Amino acid sequence: MALPAACEAHTRQHNSAGAATSGGLKGGAWGYCAHLRAYGLNFDFGLANSLLALRPSSSFEFGCGLGLYTSWLHQVGGVQPAIGVEPMPMPSSIFRAESAWPQQLVSDLLNESAGSRECVRALGQLDLVFSIEVAEHIPRHLHAALADLLVSRTRGFLVFSAGRPGQPGRGHIANRPTGEWERDFTSRGMIFLPRTTARFRGASRNGEIRRNVRVFAAARAQLGMALDAPQPGTWGEPAPSASRSAYVSSGCRAQMWWGLETIAHDKCNATHAALGRKLLSVTRHYANGGKRVEQAGRLFAVPIPGRADGSSQRAVNDTEAIWFPRHRLRQGELALWPALVQQAADDCWGYIQLS
């Protein structure tokens, strides 16, 4: 399903207006290279599988970033439509114009223009609405409008996580106590689900999400399952291998090194050789008295398609190389999005070190 015509028109208007970005330093819009620079492939498999456990048939993500969660819901869970909202265009390897792919709505949707209101109405309601660690980047005076938007689009579940006071992060301009965030939704008729929230927190592998995430339901009568009761299966476990076989190579094995699960060189070399892929070492370096210093425990191998010209070296700024924070890189993550890694190497080359 493609975006409604009203949303397509609103996106064109938004792009032609030349939405500015501060690179996230002062809140506001981030380009996709800014996302990569700040957080790399910031993906929490535990959260992703918990979203799937809600069994949505449609989804709406406000502040989708690179689009990894929306892509996961679509690829692994068959969710369609799967719509991500972000003010700046995100990678075309994730969001494509074809209706069979996840769709990005390039808009902030909080500007109260006639175009944004018409687009929101055209979207209708969706089974799953979620926003993960986004609202703290949005000015405080817009939080009520954000809550109105999320609640109005929710037919089933609403999953929300946002920064609390004292939480570190880039571009946090409006952190609030978790109780305040919760009241934004319960005061609008949403039902807080403490047991489901506990499952999400137990499954998450991101320390901030474990503390901040909340799960709500629009109305018990609208959902074809018993809410907030123990559900069959284990939350946060990887999706069944059968549903991931097209994306995760069985030849790769994860191994622990300095708290990171890294992809073993020998297994992945053998597995991806037939696909013409090669290994890239991706690191983040820190300046120390003018010298290049590699942070211990951040070096690992990444299988991505080889460049057409066969080259493997580029000049980079050592302080801007992509890195993946601890506990966020899991087996199969890069196998799920090899095209994204290749596109990042082409579009955001200043943030990647190839070796």
**What is the fold, at CATH topology level, of the domain defined by 5-222?**
Rossmann fold (3.40.50)
Nearest to 50 by CA among 29, 77, 71: 77
- Residue 322 CA, distance from chain mean position: 16
**Start-end of H helices in 62-193:** 68-77, 114-123, 143-153, 178-186
Q: Are 247 and 75 in contact (CB under 8 A)?
A: yes
Compute the average pLDDT of residues 325-346: 58
- 188-198 pLDDT tens trace: 999 999 999 99
Q: Are 163 and 63 in contact (CB under 8 A)?
A: no
Report d(CA 289, CA 282) in Å as an integer: 22
For residue 325, name the pLDDT band (cuts at 50, 70, 90): very low
Around Cβ 9, how many Cβ atoms within 10 Å?
A: 15
The secondary element (H helix, E strand) that includes residue 61 is strand 59-62
Report d(CA 172, CA 195) in Å as an integer: 29
Q: How is the chain split into domains, by residue range?
A: 5-222, 247-351
- 112-156 pLDDT tens trace: 788 888 998 999 999 999 999 999 999 999 999 999 999 999 999
Indicate if the pLDDT at residue 258 is higher than 70.
no
For residue 345, name the pLDDT band (cuts at 50, 70, 90): low
- 20-74 pLDDT tens trace: 444 444 555 677 777 776 676 778 888 999 999 999 999 999 999 999 999 999 9
Predicted local distance difference test score (pLDDT) of residue 185? 97
- Residue 304 CA, distance from chain mean position: 20
Nearest to 151 by CA among 181, 112, 189, 122: 189
Both tokens assigned to 264: 């073993």
> Which carries the bigger pLDDT value, residue 71 or residue 13?
71
